[in-house]
A and B are shown apart, each in its own frame.
Chain A
């Protein structure tokens, strides 16, 4: 089946720094990718829709200047958490679709 690779799988950063998370579709082209956030024992919450070659569409309540999304090619979308703070610590997951939604393995971000 199609594979979506997410990197890094975990990252620890200092408060105030920025962190970039990559999401790649390995064997298919994805014009649209999605970014989700998941808190412990809670569901996945859609943050934004990443569109190749155009601006991302953010869900209500998600700060677009805080969570920068770039979808520069048909196989790569990146999420940059800018000026990270401890409350940004979470599990971030991307998905790309080809007949079904395939999810990356997730990135656990810890901001200290």
Chain B
């Protein structure tokens, strides 16, 4: 069993739709949870960062963490074609930034 599970998709949605992404994990010791966006042949860029359980909102992005279920989610509202990318969840035991990544979900937003 992988430490972090993420459906690789691909996921295709029309412009303006809500994109829903999620990851599950097995290690209950994870404390820090992140979502990264990666364009083809580029390094990941941080979208959302959450410590422990709870919700966090930043513009069109909402991240949710449910530690009791070992489940995290990312929602993108009013999706745009420029949101087309691969989205990676990541998590770490401490703030030492040693990250365990999900496989990434490829998202295409159709104009």
Contacts and interface: CB of A to CB of B under 8 A. Distances in A.
A72 to B, nearest CB: 20
B101 A103 contact: no
- Where chain A touches its partner, the secondary structure class is strand
Interface string A83-112: 000000001010101001111111010000
Interface of B: 4, 6, 8, 34, 36, 41-46, 49, 88, 96-104, 106
Interface of A: 4, 6, 32, 34, 36, 41-46, 49, 91, 93, 95, 97, 100-106, 108
Given A97-B96, A101-B46, A101-B99, 12 more contacts: A6-B43, A32-B96, A34-B98, A41-B8, A41-B106, A43-B4, A43-B104, A44-B101, A46-B99, A100-B46, A102-B46, A105-B42
